[in-house]
Structures are given as C-alpha cells and as structure tokens.
Amino acid sequence: MKLALVGDIGGTNARFALWRDEQLESVRVLATADYPGPEAAIGAYLAELELPLGAVDSVCLACAGPVGGDEFRFTNNHWRLSRAAFCRELQVRELLLVNDFCAMALGMTRLGEGERLQLCPGEPEAHRPWVVIGPGTGLGVGTLLQLADGSWLALPGEGGHVDLPIGSPREALLWQQLHAQLGHVRAEDVLSGGGLLTLYRAICALDGHAPRLHSPAEITAAALAGDAVALQVIEQFCCWLGRAAGNLVLSLGGRGGVYIVGGVVPRFAELFRASGFARCLRDKGVMSGYFEGIPAWLVTAEYPGLMGAGVALQQAFATARV
C-alpha cells in the first residue's frame, strides 16, 4: 500500500512527514540551502527512512506564494518545481501544491490539547470565518471556513501586504519614521521577524536613543531581560498585530475566532499575553462592541503547517492514506 507525504517549505527550512491515519509521522527538518530543489530534499528524506522512490503515492507541499500551472518558483528560497518533472523523478502519482497559509489555516482544525494559549475569551460562532495571522519571515494571513458538508475551505490571500494601521498619535509619529525609511509601509514591514529590528530603529530614532541592538533575537532577549526600549518595541509590535488582526475580523466577519501563529510571537509568549494586543484588537471605535465574545488564541503547536498540508491532501485525494 502506498504512502502519503506532506511538506511545509519555508525560506530556511523544509519540513517533511509521512501522513498516516490523519497524523504526522517521521517529521524531519532539512535546510533548503543544502539541496538544489525539493526533489533532492525529498529524496534524501526518503533515503533516511529507507524508503525507495515510488514508495510515496501522494504528496502535498505547502509553499509561500500563489500556486497554479506546472511551473512554481518558491518566493522565499532558490528552489523551483515543475509538477510533471517532480512526479516523474520521485515516481509520485498525485502532487498538490497549496499556499503556505492555506495549510497553516487548515492546521488550526487539528490543534491538540496544550497547543494554544487563550488571549481573549469567547466562543467561536459556527460556520463563520476563522482569522489566521502570523508573523514569521513575513506576515502570513489566512481565512478558514467550514462548509456545510463538514469539510474546510482555506482562502489564500496577501493580507500581510496591506497598509500598516495607525490607531494613535504615537503610532502616527512612528509611521512617519518608517515612511521616511521605507516609503510605502506595509503591515509586514513591522509585523515580521525582520520587522522587529525595523521597529526598534524607528523607536530609537523617534525617542533619541542610540541603537545598540542589531537583530530580532537580540531585541527579544533584551525585552525578556527587562530592557526598557526593547520592551517598548515588543509592546508596540503586539499592539500593531492586534490592530491588523482586528481589521481582518471586521473585513471578513471573522467571528469564528482569531489564531495567532508563526515563529515570532511564541518566543515572547508571556509578554504577548500581557501586552495591549487584546485591547488593540478590539479598538475599533463604534465597532468595538462587535468583538464581544470573539475568542483569540496564540498557537504553540510545533508543526501546524505540516498538519494542515495533511488535511489538504486528505480532502483532495481519497487515496491519500497508508
């Protein structure tokens, strides 16, 4: 009986797993820089598991960017993929490519106990959109809908590239600093790993501090150690993430709940939970009452994108099994 394989491919790492009985098995993380393309990486993964080419029948890969047609160029690494050549080389019958945040959104349907922290209390409304937003290398945004037959529909989009929202005089001044440096200011320019450093420099410029931190990791470590300027950066980051997520809730009617995902926020989870995120999520003037009862969570699951790729594969291919 054939195997199913799922992958979640980012800029630095590619995560692969077998998909069996609606669960992940044999998860491995490979550096994309070590391989010329996904075929070579998957070949190495299969070799490690002592599986021959042809052992995998169905594959789902979650990839950053719009997917369509035979040729796909990964937007955040050097890999390229031809669907036909991929299936031929790896002897795969079915290949499904999905947007990485569609997979991330689908992964929210399989969260286990202890894989999310509550940020705002409430009960999700049935059959209303779920909002999924996550700072990582960039800012990913996804929308999830449960259909009448019980299946899930994840809607791709480029919500990370919307304008950065301004909700206070202080934020307007910071926006001016950012605009002087960047021109057009996208939400992703601040709400991402690299955006922490951009925001830190803008705060230093506005408040007259000499910058002494030089990476997102340094800023996070300094904030956790109690550094006043770094704490301001984290607080403003959390507030802006709340505003961006709140805009999505209003735009989509997202009363199914808000899920904060990605690799950045869990690194300072307790600071995030104590921050102004929840206040800014709901800070919408006459529409602030709309947010009453809408829950929000911080997702701490290790491989939600891989799990979502499994869900996508399972929904797409009836033969995606072991």
Residue numbers in the known binding site are: 7-12
Cα separations in angstroms, 90 against 11, 22, 64, 74, 100? 22, 23, 22, 19, 22
Q: In 3D, which of 130, 13, 5 has the Cα closest to residue 64?
A: 13
Percent of the chain that is helix, strand, coil (3-state, to 5):
45, 25, 35
Q: Which two tokens stand for residue 91?
A: 């002897």
**CA–CA distance, 70 with 83 (Å, rounded to integer):** 5
SS3 of residue 311 by DSSP: helix
**What's the full length of the chain, in residues?**
322
Known binding residues for ATP: 7-12
Q: Which two tokens stand for residue 228?
A: 């006043």
**C-beta neighbour count of 27 within 10 angstroms:** 14
